[in-house]
Amino acid sequence: MSASFAVVGSGPSGMYAADALLKEVPGSRVDVFDRVPTPFGLIRFGVAPDHFKTKNTARQFARTFELDEVRYLGNVEIGRDLSIDELKDNYDAVILAIGSYHDRSLGIPGEDLPGVYGACAFVGWYNGHPDYRDLAPLLTGGGVAVIGIGNVALDVCRVLAKTPEEMQGSDIAAHALDTIQAAPLDNLYMFGRRGPVEAGFTPKELSEVRDLERCAVIVDDAQLPATVEGDFEGREKGVKEKNLTLLRELASQEKPEKPIKMHIGFYASPVEILGETRVEGLRMEHTQVVDGRAKGTGQTFDVPCAAVVTAIGYQALAPEGVPMDGTIIANNAGHVEDNLYVVGWSKRGPSGTIPTNGPDSRGVVDILLGNLAAGAKPGGDIIDTLLAKRGARVVDFEGYKKIAAAEIARAPEGHPLEKFTRIDEMLALLDGAS
């Protein structure tokens, strides 16, 4: 049986799903859509620029696009250029792999002040996402406070703390590198509302801030418990123990005079962002962990800072007509409704690493195949006609390869590439206009 499939989103979960469909239904056709011209989603825009080797996963996914049965339709936004119903009507099954590409809010006073950024925007800015090209974060006038103690918070602090030499080999966007290096950063704060044992970061990422050139890490030994207590077992317990060992090492490390201090603080929750016309500080409340949850003590303290970055997790935003369940797309083991499915962060929330998406997407494809009637829908041809009628400017994989080659050709010394950060620039390049 052959069939036609649409995958919306070309990040890891979408690409694992496309691979599984091709493997399980030989002869089927898969159209992969992305709303920006360049594919691979989180790999290009989420993984930290100095974790450039992790971005090599994209090579594996690029091979999928070389297959005749697969098409890449970049620069096509579902909800703008095509509706979900049009996809459902024209493909045998549709898989949403749209990630959790929106910041959650803290819901505290001062959150709308200039100088407050969600990690999605901030990470997108230094990774050259067109949506955040003009974010121009306010990094002058004091330190930066990051809320959250997951790996994203560590990524943000590390990218801010590294010297240009330490960022060699990364694909950080030039506009961000320039702004960060021009900023008189002195203090970086990373606050967790719970304790070191509950922290979301992992040992490898924590160890990466241990020996930075211009940044010393400050941890208060008094906040570190003697052992890992609680409901943790096996691998998870091992991770917690390694985190604790590393934190102890950081707490006892001799602190050479370095221009930047990165304070990792626990048991503190934000209650207000302070400032008149822009961020001037952050009011934090001391907490205690009761039954695994952070509980405010009523005692507050203020931290002066010029910017606040919230790294508190992301949420999905569904295209019109697709039901949400809190911060994810409503689904039952990946099935949304009719012939519509969801994989990845938009299915289960923002957790796990890139490979976590492999089994997750394959599991959903198994369910999809169990429900699939004999392939009968036309797939791409009608969709192409609709897109042409609407004047959509589709970027195919050959187009993307031209963009990628130009990005490598214009790389500054010591960097593998320099991304195009504006969609107009990419389209002009394809038109041969620049």
Which residues contribute to the site for ligand NAP (CB under 6 A)? Answer: 106, 147-153, 155, 192-194, 198, 200, 205, 269, 294, 311-313, 350-353
Closer to ligand NAP by Cβ: residue 37 or 265: 265
Closer to ligand NAP by Cβ: residue 90 or 151: 151
Which residue of this chain has its Cβ atom nearest to ligand NAP in the complex?
A: 150
Closer to ligand NAP by Cβ: residue 142 or 192: 192
CA-CA distance, 418 to 433, in Å (whole number)? 19
**Shortest distance, CB of residue 292 to ligand NAP, whole angstroms?**
9
The edge-to-edge listing of strands for the beta sheet with 293-304 is: 268-274, 281-290, 293-304
**Shortest distance, CB of residue 106 to ligand NAP, whole angstroms?**
5
**Shortest distance, CB of residue 268 to ligand NAP, whole angstroms?**
9
**Shortest distance, CB of residue 244 to ligand NAP, whole angstroms?**
16
Closer to ligand NAP by Cβ: residue 4 or 127: 127
**Shortest distance, CB of residue 300 to ligand NAP, whole angstroms?**
14
Q: Tell me the backbone φ, ψ of residue 286, rounded to 5 degrees.
A: -65, 145
CA-CA distance, 83 to 425, in Å (whole number)? 27
Task: For 128-189, give the DSSP string.
Answer: T-GGGTT------SS-EEEE--SHHHHHHHHHHH--TTTTTT----HHHHHHHHHS---EEE
CA-CA distance, 151 to 190, in Å (whole number)? 11
Closer to ligand NAP by Cβ: residue 2 or 353: 353
Question: H or E stretch including 424?
Answer: helix 423-430
**Shortest distance, CB of residue 310 to ligand NAP, whole angstroms?**
8
Closer to ligand NAP by Cβ: residue 93 or 149: 149
